[in-house]
Amino acid sequence: MAESDPVAQAAPAKKSKIPLFAGLGAMLLLGAGGFYAVFSGLILGSPSEPPVNPESVVVADLPDIAFVPMEPLVIQLGTGVAARHLLFRAQLEVAKPYEAQVILLLPRVMDVLNGYLRAVEVAEIEDRSALIRLRAQMLRRVQIVTGEGRVRDLLVTEFVVN
């Protein structure tokens, strides 16, 4: 009684591979389109610009400034056996007409910076972002000592803790 049905024994029908190839084709097209968009500068950048003739570039004059070097400061951080030292060296960016006045006030500037750096905690100096805060604080103190408008910036050239 158990006769086998030829339809039941037949293998199941294979699924079509058309959707697979259509998906692969769509991925290739989208990938190529994305590459072209990035490469040509449509996305994430500007298109390549033609080379610029150096003679046609207008260069603005530099501002009328001077740099006044300061003597290096060596400051003891902490006390006792664990004492460490800070070596600080900087230059002041000043307006050229005030250069002589700022040079005249350098001993007072050095005194203010020496006092400030001695008051700063060792943990604060060791912080990676401390130099930005310290520089802003020192610049403000220098501007107070020299008068507004004379010192434009404080350029830290050496800041070594050992």
What is the rounded CA–CA span in Å between residue 30 and residue 18? 18
Q: Which one, of 125, 145, 123, lies nearest residue 133 by Cα?
A: 125
Q: What is the pLDDT of residue 122?
A: 85
pTM of the model: 0.62
Q: Which one, of 139, 133, 140, lies nearest residue 155 by Cα?
A: 139
* Of 30 and 4, the one with more pLDDT: 30
Position 9 confidence tier, pLDDT thresholds 50, 70, 90: low
Q: What is the 8-class DSSP label of residue 2?
A: -
Q: What are phi and psi of 9, to 5 degrees?
A: -80, -15
SS3 1: coil
Model confidence pLDDT, tens digit, residues 82-124: 788 999 999 999 999 999 999 999 999 999 999 999 998 888 8
What is the rounded CA–CA span in Å between residue 32 and residue 26? 10
